[in-house]
Amino acid sequence: MNSKQFLIHLVSILFSIALAAKVTIAVESQSISLPGCPDHCGEIKVPYPFGITPECSLNGNRKFYLNCTQSSLYLNSSNLQVTNISLDGEVSVMNFIGRDCYNKKGVREEHIQSQLWLANYNVSSARNTFIAVGCDTYSTVNGYRGKENYVIGCVSSCNDIDYESFTSDHQSCLGVGCCQISIPSGLKNMTISLSSYNNHTFVYDFNPCSYAFVVEQGKFKFSNTSFQELNRTEKLPAVLNWGIGKESCDEAKKRANYTCKGNNVTCVAASNAAGYLCQCLPGYEGNPYLPDGCHGNGS
Ligand SMILES: *[C@@H]1O[C@H](CO)[C@@H](O)[C@H](O)[C@H]1NC(C)=O
Ligand SMILES: *[C@@H]1O[C@H](CO)[C@@H](O)[C@H](O)[C@H]1NC(C)=O
Ligand SMILES: *[C@@H]1O[C@H](CO)[C@@H](O)[C@H](O)[C@H]1NC(C)=O
Ligand SMILES: *[C@@H]1O[C@H](CO)[C@@H](O)[C@H](O)[C@H]1NC(C)=O
Ligand SMILES: *[C@@H]1O[C@H](CO)[C@@H](O)[C@H](O)[C@H]1NC(C)=O
Ligand SMILES: *[C@@H]1O[C@H](CO)[C@@H](O)[C@H](O)[C@H]1NC(C)=O
Ligand SMILES: *[C@@H]1O[C@H](CO)[C@@H](O)[C@H](O)[C@H]1NC(C)=O
Ligand SMILES: *[C@@H]1O[C@H](CO)[C@@H](O)[C@H](O)[C@H]1NC(C)=O
Ligand SMILES: *[C@@H]1O[C@H](CO)[C@@H](O)[C@H](O)[C@H]1NC(C)=O
Ligand SMILES: *[C@@H]1O[C@H](CO)[C@@H](O)[C@H](O)[C@H]1NC(C)=O
């Protein structure tokens, strides 16, 4: 073999290795979406039952159809941006924060109410907190649990001396500059309202605005820079819960559209949402919502 032949031979060996590697990768990488369906929007993975066209979402259902516009993902017919989808019944969104701002004379200059009105999702009570920030601030959350109207709220106040002391040591949300309450389960159609006792007239110099929002636990830490930072912030992350259908697992199993039908898949009740979720059995992984989406994780 001369050197030219050797080179050709070497190249062809390398080529077949590359080809073999590629084939192996293609076999091993499991799809997360239906065949022929896009599995991401920008950087965000979109696993089935979610999809970015009606045909690629479960039953073309409003609940699972997401709008992918310019590489950003939105819940259908809302301006809530989706940042992560978990097959355990969670979807992470960027939620708008409410604000209430006054000028030096105590005249309201800006008032933005934050609303989460969702037909198909519940706000996760386990993963979010309600927080209000400001020194002349009271805030309420108005919503529905079932048909019952439900109102909760908290008060936060401080003067400049309190402000000095929490800037030096306090870093927690205990009613001085910041208050928080947990969110009851099953709360729907939340409207966050903000108000003040003295229109921020006594605290205007260091705090002209109040803020309130539902936020994923751990994603907001109160500190002496919070007033400035919130002034520049439009949205913060929150977590919603979802489930398939409205039926329990036992009822759903009797129906033709039962979704957890693949091998090595089980059905569990959704948490903080109506309906059920599919899960791969222990020792299997993949997407349990796809036909035969679960595969052994050891092999
Ligand atoms: C998306 O929302 C719009 C407006 O509510 C509705 O008309 C449309 O049917 C929804 N799309 C899907 C696929 O559910
Ligand atoms: C998706 O969202 C964009 C921007 O909000 C909107 O213009 C478009 O009509 C939406 N498409 C669908 C199918 O809902
Ligand atoms: C998305 O959610 C999954 C499952 O909860 C989690 O493991 C992953 O870290 C999240 N990704 C991002 C970018 O938050
Ligand atoms: C606060 O502002 C509201 C609306 O701008 C006004 O009606 C009210 O009189 C003000 N109260 C005080 C104490 O300044
Ligand atoms: C909650 O909001 C959804 C979506 O906008 C709406 O369809 C539903 O009627 C609302 N429910 C109540 C009790 O206001
Ligand atoms: C905020 O508090 C930190 C200590 O936690 C301190 O180092 C810093 O100077 C304070 N910043 C302001 C603007 O007060
Ligand atoms: C925050 O924003 C409002 C208007 O959006 C402005 O009047 C105010 O001076 C800003 N600064 C602080 C520190 O809140
Ligand atoms: C399955 O079908 C039943 C009626 O046959 C319907 O009520 C239910 O919403 C469907 N479930 C899903 C997940 O589409
Ligand atoms: C997983 O599915 C295969 C094929 O149906 C079956 O043979 C196996 O017993 C299942 N494993 C478990 C743990 O049920
Ligand atoms: C929200 O939770 C309540 C209580 O758990 C439940 O009755 C309701 O159906 C849930 N809504 C959705 C859209 O899952």
Walk along the chain (299 residues) and give the pLDDT tens digit of each residue: 555 554 445 444 444 444 444 433 333 457 899 999 999 999 999 999 999 999 999 987 778 999 999 999 999 667 899 999 999 999 999 999 999 999 999 999 999 999 988 888 999 999 999 999 999 999 999 999 888 999 999 999 998 777 666 665 556 888 889 999 999 998 888 999 999 999 999 999 999 999 999 999 999 999 888 999 999 999 999 999 999 999 999 999 999 999 999 899 999 999 999 999 999 999 999 999 998 899 987 65
Neighbours of 299 (CB within 10 A): 5
Phi and psi angles of residue 201, each rounded to the nearest 5 degrees, phi first: -65, -35
Q: Are strands 72-75 and 66-69 parallel, antiparallel or unpaired?
A: antiparallel
Nearest CA among 209, 190, 81 for reference residue 129: 190
Q: Are 262 and 60 contacting, i.e. CB atoms less than 8 angstroms apart?
A: no
* CB-CB neighbours of 88 under 10 Å: 12
C-alpha closest to that of 264 among 239, 293, 238: 293
The ligand minimizing its distance to the Cα of 117 is 5
Among protein residues, the one with the nearest Cα to ligand 6's atom 11 is 224
To test the ligand 5 pocket, which listed residue (188, 190, 191) has its Cβ within 8 A of the most ligand atoms?
Answer: 188
Mutate to test the pocket of ligand 9, among 263, 279, 295 (most ligand atoms within 8 A of CB): 263
The dihedral over CA atoms of 46, 47, 51, 55, expressed in degrees to the nearest 10, equals 150
Does residue 227 line the site of ligand 1, with CB under 6 A? no
For residue 62, how far is its CA from the centre of ligand 1 (angstroms)?
Answer: 6
- Ligand 1 pocket check for 76: Cβ under 6 Å: yes
